[in-house]
């Protein structure tokens, strides 16, 4: 029997930490052949990146330790090779690209230097390396390849940086490319382009691709086979179609069920006058116009989703509405009073009504405060809301509302998972009994199954307490499940505004259509049809 390109056999990796041994992966096995794409699907903490780090010899030992198993590359065990031999394998035989290309490129050297280094490390001469770097930059379609080589990583956009990473990884024509969440940090349309590029390059070179992702959409778009990981164990494997249509393991079923974008869409049902009425909001940063006149109305108990790619101005809109930054024009009437020109005194009273939940709960919660302190701090600032004697009781109640229990009160943020932390952030926002909550990518950093829980929670609060939401997101399926209205933004302007059904089922503007087309569907058959339709329109 011919050897597989890559075969991982019974791999177990432990991390010995001060608090005890963590079994990061336990007894996992999979294989990959040339020209094939295997996806490792899992949520955070599932150990999905550990085996690839073991393949690349990137695990720090200690604290890491290969407890058992072997990794065969063309039948040869990597663990039996010398460090020097493994270094030779890295880059030449196996290459890797990562989630966040900005931090994975050295900021102080030009990208051309870093490209040439990859080539020269494995024995290419200077002029040869330069020519090859230029050829690769042309191949990955970087603009103005000659000049791009002399630029530094910060001078590129996110998508271009990932193209640089891909060019660098492919410099030595590796047999195996490992892509660890390669498109997670990118906008949907850029994600589609990068995945497309990867597939083209795979067809040209016949390399095997191991893609690590949490996104079912990415799996259905690029992978032939998939292995599903949970808590360090491999729970299911098979072709993408098999696994999607006929999942065997309970976890896989849960993961597929949690994928957003399949439920019924909301019919806007809120009545009455608008509580917030934004007219022609503008914001400049120097000469750059970040918001070019945005207008919309919002009623109590209603959700407006603001979607758009990075640089569209959606976060700027949130910041000026909460007066975290000053608007440069327009009005935002909150129950008849203009938020943009309100005096600091009025604004202070109003802070109660308007709350914000941020993207990253790890950063937005003070790590030195307990949950009780985090939530009750609102009443220290606004003592008229609640007498101190009732604080404990109310914190218990709020924790209950967001699905946490009273004993969590004395703990610190780091003792919670990401999803729990975001619930704490929501409980903190609720402490002031707000009438509007602005969620800036509030669930983007969370795992799919946790996302679903948080969205359900927000929807419950909307129904029961009549809270209005401005829901800023880049993830369209999520918006589809939660919003009443959708506002599509591009370069500081509103491109399209309508009920969620109008925008999703019958998008009017080409930009909205492009966004929807680039959004990946977890169902491989639907995704294949979408892709063919997209390619047909493109050609």
Partner 1 sequence: MLSFIRKRAFASLISLIGLLVMVFFLSRLTGDPASLFLPVEASAEMKAEFRALHGLDQPLLVQFGQYVGNVLTGDLGESLRKARPALDVVLEAFTWTLWLAVITMTLVTVCAIVVGSLAAFRTGGFFDRFSSMVSLIGASVPDFWLAIVAIVVFAIQLSWLPTSGTGSLSHWILPICVLFVRPFGIIVQVVRGSMISALSSAYVKTARAKGVKSGPIIFVHALRNAMLPVITVIGDQAASLLNGAVVIETIFGFPGVGKLMIDSILQRDFNVVLAAILVTAFAIFLMNLVIDLAYALLDPRIRY
Residues that bind partner 1 (CB under 8 A): 56-58, 87-92, 95-96, 98, 100, 103-110, 117-118, 121-122, 152, 154, 165, 168
**Choice between 103 and 126, CB closer to partner 1:** 103
Q: How far is the CB of 152 from partner 1 (least distance, A)?
A: 5
Q: Minimal CA–CA distance to 273: which of 225, 335, 353, 339? A: 335
Closest distance of CB 527 from partner 1, Å: 29
303 with 469: CB under 8 angstroms?
yes
**Minimal distance, residue 221 CB to partner 1, in Å:** 24
Give a three-class secondary structure readout of 466-507: CCEEEEEECCHHHHHHHCCEEEEEECCEEEEEEEHHHHHHCC
224 phi-psi bin (left φ>0, alpha ψ -120 to 50, beta other): alpha
Alpha-carbon span 469 to 442, nearest angstrom: 11
Eight-class DSSP state of 265:
P
Nearer to partner 1, 180 or 221 (CB): 180
Query: Among residues 364, 431, 425, 361, which one has the least CA distance to residue 396?
Result: 431
Q: What does the alpha-carbon distance between residue 104 and residue 89 come to, in Å, rounded to a whole number?
A: 20
Cα separation, 415 vs 426, whole angstroms = 17
| Helix (H), strand (E), coil (C) string for 148-180 | HCCCCHHHCCHHHHHHHHHHHHCCCCCCEEEEE
Nearer to partner 1, 120 or 351 (CB): 120
Judged by beta carbon, residue 52 or residue 355, the one nearer partner 1 is: 52
Give the H/E segment covering residue 39: strand 37-41
| Residue 88 CB, nearest approach to partner 1 (Å) | 6
Q: Nearer Cβ to partner 1, position 70 or 100?
A: 100
For the bound state, the minimum distance from the C-beta of residue 60 to partner 1, rounded and expressed in Å, comes to 8
| Shortest reach from residue 179's CB to partner 1, in Å | 12
- Cα dist from 63 to 13, 42, 47, 180, whole Å: 10, 23, 15, 22
Strand-pair category, 94-97 with 176-180: parallel
In whole angstroms, how close is the CB of 440 to partner 1 at the nearest point? Answer: 25
DSSP classification of residue 75: T
Residue 152 or 497: the one with the smaller Cβ distance to partner 1 is 152
CB of 477 to partner 1, least distance (A): 29
Provide, rounded to whole angstroms, the least separation between the CB of residue 171 and partner 1. Answer: 8
Nearer to partner 1, 107 or 272 (CB): 107
Nearest of 402, 378, 521 to residue 459 by alpha carbon:
402
User: Which letter does DSSP use for residue 233 in this model?
Assistant: E
Nearer to partner 1, 56 or 356 (CB): 56
Closest approach, Cβ 151 to partner 1, in A, equals: 9
Nearer to partner 1, 37 or 52 (CB): 52
Q: Which CB, 89 or 354, lies closer to partner 1?
A: 89
Q: What are phi and psi of 416, to 5 degrees?
A: -115, 160
Q: From residue 164, give the alpha-carbon distance in Å to each of 103, 110, 144, 153, 461.
A: 13, 11, 13, 9, 44
Output the smallest distance, CB 103 to partner 1, in A: 4
- Structure letter (DSSP) for residue 344: H
- Nearby residues of 174 by Cβ (< 8 Å), 6 or more positions away: 91, 92, 93, 94, 95, 207
Rounded to a whole number of angstroms, the minimum distance from the CB of residue 108 to partner 1 is 5
CB closer to partner 1, 63 vs 263: 63
Whose Cβ is closer to partner 1: residue 183's or residue 355's?
183
């Amino acid at each position: 029997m011919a050897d597989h390109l890559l075969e991982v056999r019974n791999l177990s990796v432990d991390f010995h930490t001060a608090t005890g041994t963590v079994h990061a992966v336990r007894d996992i096995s999979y294989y990959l052949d040339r020209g094939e794409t295997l996806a490792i699907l899992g949520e955070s903490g599932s150990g999905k990146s550990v085996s690839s780090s073991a393949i690349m010899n990137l695990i720090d030992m200690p604290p890491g330790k290969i407890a058992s198993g072997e990794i065969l590359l063309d039948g040869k065990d990597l663990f039996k090779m010398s460090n020097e031999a493994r270094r030779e394998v890295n880059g030449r035989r196996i290459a890797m690209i990562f989630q966040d290309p900005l931090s994975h490129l050295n900021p102080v050297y030009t990208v051309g230097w870093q490209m040439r280094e990859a080539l020269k490390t494995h024995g290419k001469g200077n002029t040869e390396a330069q020519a090859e770097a230029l050829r690769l930059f042309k191949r990955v379609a970087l603009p103005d390849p000659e000049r791009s080589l002399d630029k530094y990583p910060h001078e590129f956009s996110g998508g271009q940086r990932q193209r640089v990473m891909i060019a660098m990884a492919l410099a030595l024509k590796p047999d195996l490319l490992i892509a660890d969440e390669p498109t997670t940090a990118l906008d949907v349309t850029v994600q589609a382009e990068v995945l497309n590029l990867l597939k083209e390059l795979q067809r040209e070179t016949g390399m095997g691709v191991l893609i690590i992702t949490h996104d079912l959409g990415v799996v259905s778009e690029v992978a032939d086979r998939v292995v599903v990981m949970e808590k360090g164990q491999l729970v299911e494997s098979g072709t993408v179609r098999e696994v999607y249509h006929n999942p065997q393991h309970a976890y896989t079923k849960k993961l597929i069920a949690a994928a957003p974008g399949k439920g019924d869409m909301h019919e806007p049902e809120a009545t009455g006058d608008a509580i917030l009425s934004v007219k022609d909001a503008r914001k400049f940063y120097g000469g750059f116009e970040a918001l070019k006149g945005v207008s919309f109305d919002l009623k109590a108990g209603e959700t407006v989703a603001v979607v758009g790619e990075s640089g569209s101005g959606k976060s700027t809109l949130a910041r000026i509405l909460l007066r975290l930054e000053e608007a440069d024009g327009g009005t935002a009437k909150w129950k008849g009073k203009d938020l943009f020109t309100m005096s600091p005194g009025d604004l202070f009273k109003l802070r109660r009504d308007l709350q914000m939940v941020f993207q990253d709960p790890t950063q937005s919660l003070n790590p030195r405060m307990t949950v009780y302190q985090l939530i009750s701090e609102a009443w220290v600032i606004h003592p008229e809301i609640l007498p101190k004697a009732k604080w404990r009781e109310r914190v218990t109640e709020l924790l209950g509302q967001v699905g946490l229990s009273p004993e969590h009160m004395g703990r610190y943020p780091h003792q919670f998972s990401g999803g729990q932390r975001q619930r704490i952030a929501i409980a903190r926002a609720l402490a002031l009994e707000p009438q509007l909550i602005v969620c800036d990518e509030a669930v983007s950093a969370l795992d799919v199954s946790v996302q679903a829980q948080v969205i359900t929670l927000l929807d419950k609060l909307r129904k029961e307490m009549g809270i209005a939401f401005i829901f800023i997101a880049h993830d369209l399926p999520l918006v589809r499940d939660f919003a009443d209205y959708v506002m599509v933004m591009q370069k500081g302007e509103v491109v399209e505004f309508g009920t969620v059904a109008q925008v999703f089922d019958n998008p009017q503007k080409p930009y909205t259509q492009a966004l929807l087309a680039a959004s990946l569907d977890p169902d491989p058959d639907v995704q294949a049809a979408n892709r063919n339709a997209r390619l047909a329109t493109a050609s």
